[in-house]
Amino acid sequence: MSIEVEAKAYCEDLLEIEERIKGLGAEFVSELEQVDTYFNHPTRDFAQTDEALRIRRAGEKATFTYKGPKIDSQTKTREELKVELSDGDAMRDVLLKLGFSEVGVVKKLRKKYQVGEFKVCLDEVEGLGSFVELEVEVPSGDQDEIARSRDDILKTMNDWGLSKIERKSYLELLLGV
Amino acid sequence: MSIEVEAKAYCEDLLEIEERIKGLGAEFVSELEQVDTYFNHPTRDFAQTDEALRIRRAGEKATFTYKGPKIDSQTKTREELKVELSDGDAMRDVLLKLGFSEVGVVKKLRKKYQVGEFKVCLDEVEGLGSFVELEVEVPSGDQDEIARSRDDILKTMNDWGLSKIERKSYLELLLGV
């Protein structure tokens, strides 16, 4: 169990942010098309419980992710469990057999950089526009460290001129909830 | 989706069977300790619906398997979906978060051979004894082919002197259901 401290903001000009973080010594990590399929529980409504269950496909890779409820009012901080899969389609079939239902698909082009302790994602999301996401993983789940990481992220967002913070997930934005 | 046509029988003397199949040109595949953790659904009782959900750990490998209800009265023929996992423990944690519960753990030493079209497993199951399992995979799910494979398996079991067929799973036997 690790805690993902994370915030995202709308961004009019991803190229400007890209130039800025390159100036800060950003290390390029990857550029990928990610197709995320979200599922709802057979009897629990994840929209109510603020959980998320996802199969992410990117190239040959598939990842299964569970996200717990957000535990912070300003950011997207939450527990996250990840498992790499040999076969995203077979996992989808298992979930459907178990009574889970597909609720939506989020497609995006994601450019990932590492900037100091931050993972920075520059996202072009189909149907939603452009966003910048900042993330720090706190493996310990230590509360002080989580608070410190959250403050760092929000201050950095502000420094970069990213003021339109969005706490909703891409899925929520797409579904208009 | 592939159909697993499968039957198993109690076996007093695994070594005798091993010698016999070696005489038939059996190819050794693997010898592994397998630890299988079975889960029940948050709201569905798999004992009633005749489904099974399992994380199998063998050495470094973990596999997630869903088995549908048995579709044949004499064998263990059923639909099976499999996904290789990077992390069996993380998948276990996800299942618990989703309200699935652990129902039992089956530990066994399994020697696997390929004998013509058959996968043959020689199993020593902790707390249950020794068994021989024969399996053929029918990728198409074709009904005639399933029936043919089932007959082949039962005839072969008979030829090998394995008369005490057991249709229950190791988990059912362990739980005494």
Burial A54-78 (b: 16+ CB within 10 A, else e): bbbbeeeebbbbbbbebbbeebbbb
Give the pLDDT score at B46: 93
CB contact under 8 A, A87 and B90: no
Burial of A13 (0-12, 13-18, 19+ CB in 10 A): exposed
Shortest distance between the Cα of B64 and any Cα of chain A, in A, equals: 9
Q: Pseudo-torsion of CA A84, A90, A96, A99, nearest 10°?
A: -60
Closest to B8 in 3D by CA, of B103, B134, B147: B134
How distant is the Cα of A112 from the closest Cα of chain B, in angstroms? 22
Q: What's the rounded mean pLDDT across residues B73-90?
A: 87
State whether residue B81 sits within 8 Å of chain A by CB: yes
What's the pLDDT band for A158 if we cut at 50, 70, 90? very high
Nearest CB partner across the interface for B83, out of A43, A94, A99? A94
Torsion of CA A7, A13, A19, A24, to 10 degrees: -20
Closest CA to B17 of B130, B102, B100, B101: B130
Per the CB < 8 A criterion, the answer to whether A63 and B35 are in contact is: no
Q: How confident is the model at residue A59 (pLDDT cuts 50, 70, 90)?
A: confident
pLDDT at A39: 98
pLDDT at B2: 73
Asked whether residue A75 carries a pLDDT value surpassing 70, the answer given is no
- Ranking A54-58, A78-82, A156-160, B61-65 by mean pLDDT, the lowest is A78-82
Give the E-state strand segments of A11-165 in sequence order.
27-40, 52-58, 61-70, 78-85, 101-115, 118-125, 129-138
| SS3 of residue B126 by DSSP | coil
**Mean pLDDT in residue range A36-54:** 95
Residue with tokens 């519960």: B101
Q: For all residues of chain B together, what is the average pLDDT?
A: 93
**CB-nearest partner of B68 from A81, A97, A99:** A97
pLDDT, residue B177, reads: 78
Residue percentage of chain A with pLDDT more than 90: 79
Query: Which has the higher per-residue pLDDT, A146 or A9?
Result: A9
Contact B97 A81 (CB under 8 A): yes
The count of residues in chain B is 177
> Among A73-87, A110-124, B10-24, B144-158, which is the least confidently predicted range?
A73-87
Q: Residue B173 burial by CB count (10 A; 0-12/13-18/19+): exposed, middle or buried?
A: middle
pLDDT at residue B138, rounded to an integer: 87
A93-120 in b/e burial notation, b at 16+ Cβ within 10 A? bbbebbebeebeebbbebbbbebeebbb
Catalytic residue among B38, B66, B113, B170: B38
Residue whose pair of structure tokens reads 């038939």 in the numeric block: B24
* Average pLDDT for B99-111: 97
- Angle, CA of A89, B50 and B114, to the nearest 5°: 65
Per-residue model confidence as pLDDT tens digits over B11-29: 999 999 999 999 999 999 9
Interior/surface letters B6-41, b for 16+ CB within 10 angstroms, e for the rest: bbbbebeebeebbeebeeeebeeeeebebbbbbbbb
| pLDDT tens-digit series, residues B142-153 | 889 889 999 999
Q: What was the pLDDT predicted at B73?
A: 72
User: Percent of chain B beyond pLDDT 70?
Assistant: 98
Nearest-Cα distance to chain B for A156, in Å, is 32
Instruction: State whether residue A148 is helix, strand or coil.
Output: helix
| Residue A2 in tokens | 């690790």
* pTM (predicted TM-score): 0.81
Predicted local confidence at residue A118, as pLDDT: 95
- Selected residues 111-150 of chain A with any CB under 8 Å from a CB in chain B: none
A72-78 mean pLDDT:
73
Q: Is B73 on the interface with A (CB under 8 A)?
A: no
Helix (H, G, I), strand (E, B) or coil at B146: helix
Confidence of residue B140 (pLDDT cuts 50, 70, 90): confident
Among A77, A68, A54, A63, CA closest to A138: A77
User: Helix, strand, coil % (nearest 5) of chain B?
Assistant: 25, 45, 25
Q: Residues A81, A51, B35, B84: is their CA dihedral positive or negative?
A: negative
Across chain A, mean pLDDT equals 93
Say yes or no for a CB contact (<8 Å) between A90 and B99.
Answer: no
Does the ipTM exceed 0.95? no
Test B94 with A84 for CB contact under 8 angstroms: no
In this predicted structure, what is the pLDDT of residue A14?
Answer: 97
